[in-house]
């Protein structure tokens, strides 16, 4: 890559937008620099499943024409973005990391995709992910795993590992992920980036391929808190096409990110978010972060949320049950893969053969778990009981937020583990989402941002911030203050430490 390209890809999204608006850079120059970076490194990283070079350059040229004509540009106009391959995109493939949708070209855009285009954000392509967002490592993709740019032999998190790896390897300054049990925050944690799960219903799910409808939530991924806030503002807002969409104003997240402060805030620390299974370096960096919050003027409050210990068990009944229902639509008859349609098999046989060939092991595992939990005689014992636990978790959060403004915890119990290490141990894999799942069950907002490197392996550690529903601005207010303090301490954002590819 040329020196000018290197300079461009190291800019934040806010800086890129500002330079394009001022005429210091063109959107085409910025897009070409990131496309060149993708060409140079993605063979090793495998962050992208599809790169839409022609489409991205066409979007960039349109931004430059707008500017030349004196038209008003949005706050992210011309900024490139990597889009998780779970959102439909008219004219380019959407696979959800599965063979069952290989080659499917959607005839329409998801609402989130439309909002990105309307804001003149340049979509570079679609990123790799665990099949149907089921996983914590991006090893369950039908198209092969993604590597963590800090160490390509390690996982970049999941299910949105492609989006987080694209950010950490400077292939894009912005990305979109989805979070069902932590799939935005967990990848952010292990790659040293920023990821936000907005309040459930704050970002439209229309056109987002469903995994678990009461838990799924799209959200912004970036390298800085301000960049995440700018993207959050673009994608959030009521959508009449989504019955779960919240009809309320978007919280002032950008203003909060520009005016970060924790002075006088009450910050909760939950005793259930530590103990056995937590890596020593993760606990050390978290404890340092809590001390920093105190130095910045926050009051630290110890919290006891006993139902959080049941969150993992409840999640792995609720999510598979909903996935078993949602994935019934993939029958090999209407779209996507079709196997066995040679005139000798019935429709039912074609459906069975297609699902056998098209779904991976983890998807099959969750469908079977969910179907069993919903079956006659077991519904009340399993799914019904899990929903009662979900209510208890929500009540624990409500009680906690009567005492504090936000809650903090480690985002993940460990740093990035080696690819393949937990492939044959689903329970060990599921534990990666131990700290993130309670927030999804309650529908609250949460963020992960980098809080240093674990001393034993020199890999990123994430700090999770949790806020009440529709108080997403608190995430950015606290996150920006913590980020500024860390930048002052390190002299630069943590992402600068990532090894060069």
pLDDT of 498 over the 80 cut: no
What's the structural domain count of the chain?
2
Task: Assess whether 237 and 173 both reside in one domain.
Answer: yes
- Residue-by-residue DSSP string for 237-255: S--TT-TT---SPPP-HHH
Residues 441 and 358 occupy one common structural domain: no
pLDDT (0 to 100) of residue 34: 98
Tens digits of per-residue pLDDT, 330-378? 998 888 899 999 889 999 999 999 999 999 999 999 999 999 999 888 8
Q: Are 82 and 121 in the same domain? A: yes
- Asked if residue 267 belongs to a domain, the reply is yes
Residues 239, 184, single domain; the answer is: yes
- What pLDDT score was predicted for residue 430? 82
Report the pLDDT averaged over residues 252-261: 97
Q: Parallel, antiparallel, or unpaired for β 266-270 and 299-303?
A: parallel
Give the strand order in the sheet containing 122-127. Answer: 48-51, 122-127, 80-84, 174-178, 218-222, 194-197, 445-454, 459-467, 406-410, 266-270, 299-303
Res 276: pLDDT:
86
Percent of the chain clearing pLDDT 90 (strictly above)? 89
Averaged pLDDT, 97-116? 96
For 5-40, how does the pLDDT look when each residue is reduced to its tens digit (9 = 90+)? 779 999 999 999 999 999 999 999 999 999 999 999
174 touches 81 (CB < 8 A): yes
Task: Note whether 118 and 263 are same-domain residues.
Answer: yes
User: Which ranges constitute the DSSP H helices of 375-465?
Assistant: 385-403, 426-430, 437-442
488: domain CATH number is 3.90.1300.10
Q: Is residue 13 part of a domain?
A: no
Let me know if residue 62 belongs to a domain: no
| Residues 226 and 371 occupy one common structural domain | no
Specify if 156 maps to a domain. Answer: yes
* Residue 496 scores a pLDDT above 80: no
Q: How far is CA 95 from CA 55, 160, 208, 216, in A?
A: 18, 14, 11, 17
Is pLDDT of 4 > 90?
Answer: no
Predicted pLDDT of residue 123: 98
Examine residue 5 and state whether it is found in any structural domain, yes or no.
no
pLDDT at 92 over 90: yes
Mean pLDDT along residues 85-109:
96
Distance CA 463, CA 188 (A): 10
32 is a domain residue: no
- In a domain, residue 176? The reply is yes
Q: What's the average model confidence in pLDDT over 290-302?
A: 98
Cα distance between residue 398 and residue 273, in whole Å: 17
Whether the pLDDT of residue 499 is over 90: the answer is: no
Is the model's pLDDT at 393 over the cut of 80? yes
CA pair distance 77, 454, nearest whole angstrom: 36
- The Cα 269–Cα 290 span in angstroms is 8
- 311-326 residue pLDDT tens: 999 999 999 999 999 9
Residue 200 predicted with pLDDT over 90 = yes
Q: Are 406 and 465 in contact (CB under 8 A)?
A: yes
Other beta carbons within 10 angstroms of residue 51's beta carbon come to: 20
Asked whether residue 60 is domain-assigned, the answer is no
Q: Is 99 helix (H, G, I), strand (E, B) or coil?
A: helix
Residue 201 and residue 112 share a domain: yes
Both tokens of residue 270?
């939950």
Q: Say if CB 303 and CB 270 are below 8 A apart.
A: yes
Name residue 203's beta-bridge partners: 236
pLDDT classification of 497: cutoffs 50, 70, 90: confident
- CA distances for 457 relative to 150, 151, 494, angstroms: 11, 10, 15
How confident is residue 64, by pLDDT bands cut at 50, 70 and 90? Answer: very high
For 242, half-sphere exposure in the C-beta direction (CA atoms, 13 angstrom radius) is 27
Nearest Cα neighbor of 394 from 275, 302, 311 is 311
Are 292 and 216 part of one and the same domain? yes
Q: How confident is the model at residue 1 (pLDDT cuts 50, 70, 90)?
A: low
pLDDT > 70 fraction of the chain, expressed in percent and rounded: 99
- Catalytic residue ranges: 84, 159, 183
Compute the mean pLDDT over every residue in the chain, rounded to the nearest whole number: 95
Mean pLDDT within 407-428: 92
Same domain, 176 and 99: yes
* Alpha helices by DSSP H, 251-384: 253-258, 280-295, 311-326, 347-358, 361-374
Asked if residue 197 and residue 344 are part of one domain, the reply reads no
The pTM assigned to this predicted structure is 0.97
Q: Are residues 123 and 191 in the same domain?
A: yes
* Average pLDDT for 461-489: 96
Q: What is the pLDDT of residues 434-445, one digit of tens each?
A: 999 999 999 999
Same domain, 487 and 367: no
Query: Which structural domain range is residue 456 located in?
Result: 41-51+73-304+399-497
């Amino acid at each position: 890559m040329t020196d000018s390209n290197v300079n461009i890809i190291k800019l934040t999204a806010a800086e890129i937008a500002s330079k394009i608006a001022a005429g210091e850079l063109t959107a085409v120059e910025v897009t070409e620099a990131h496309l060149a970076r993708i060409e140079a490194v993605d063979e090793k990283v495998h962050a992208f499943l599809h790169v839409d070079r022609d489409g991205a350059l066409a979007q960039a040229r349109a931004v430059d024409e707008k500017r030349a004509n004196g038209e008003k540009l949005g706050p992210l106009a011309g900024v490139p973005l990597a889009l998780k391959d779970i959102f439909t995109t008219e004219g380019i493939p959407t696979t959800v990391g599965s063979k069952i949708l290989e080659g499917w070209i959607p005839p329409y855009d998801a609402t989130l995709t439309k909002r990105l285009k309307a804001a003149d954000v340049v979509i570079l392509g679609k990123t790799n992910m665990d099949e149907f967002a089921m996983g914590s490592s991006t090893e369950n993709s039908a198209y092969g795993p993604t590597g963590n740019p800090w160490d390509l032999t390690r996982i970049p998190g999941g299910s949105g590992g492609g989006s987080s790896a694209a950010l950490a390897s400077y292939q894009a300054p912005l990305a979109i992920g989805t979070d069902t049990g932590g799939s935005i925050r967990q990848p952010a944690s292990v790659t040293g980036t920023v990821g936000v799960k907005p309040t459930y219903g704050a970002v439209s799910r229309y056109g987002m391929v469903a995994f678990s409808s009461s838990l799924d939530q799209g959200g912004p991924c970036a390298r800085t808190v301000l960049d995440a806030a700018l993207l959050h503002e673009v994608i959030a807002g009521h959508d009449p096409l989504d019955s779960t969409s919240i009809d309320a104003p978007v919280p002032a997240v950008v203003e909060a990110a520009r005016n970060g402060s924790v002075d006088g805030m009450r910050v909760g620390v939950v005793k259930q978010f530590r103990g056995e299974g937590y890596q020593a370096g993760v606990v050390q960096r978290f404890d340092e972060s809590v001390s920093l919050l105190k130095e910045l003027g926050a009051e630290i409050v110890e919290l006891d949320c006993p139902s959080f210990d049941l969150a993992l068990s409840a999640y792995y009944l609720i999510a598979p049950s909903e996935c078993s229902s949602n994935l019934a639509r993939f029958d090999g008859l209407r779209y996507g893969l079709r196997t066995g349609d040679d005139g000798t098999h019935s429709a039912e046989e074609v459906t069975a053969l297609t699902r056998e060939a098209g779904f991976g092991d983890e998807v099959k595992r969750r469908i079977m778990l969910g179907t069993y939990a919903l079956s006659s005689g077991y519904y009340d014992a399993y799914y019904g009981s899990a929903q009662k636990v979900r209510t208890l978790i929500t009540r624990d959060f409500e009680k906690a937020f009567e005492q504090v403004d936000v809650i903090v915890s480690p985002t993940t119990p460990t740093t990035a583990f080696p690819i393949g290490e937990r492939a044959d141990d689903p329970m060990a894999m599921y534990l990666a989402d131990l700290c993130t799942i309670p927030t999804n069950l309650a529908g609250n907002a949460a963020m992960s941002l980098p809080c240093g490197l674990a001393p034993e392996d020199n890999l990123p550690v994430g700090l999770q911030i949790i806020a009440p529903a529709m108080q997403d601005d608190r995430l950015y207010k606290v996150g920006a203050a913590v980020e500024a303090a860390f930048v002052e301490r390190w002299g630069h954002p943590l992402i600068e430490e990532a090894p060069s590819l």
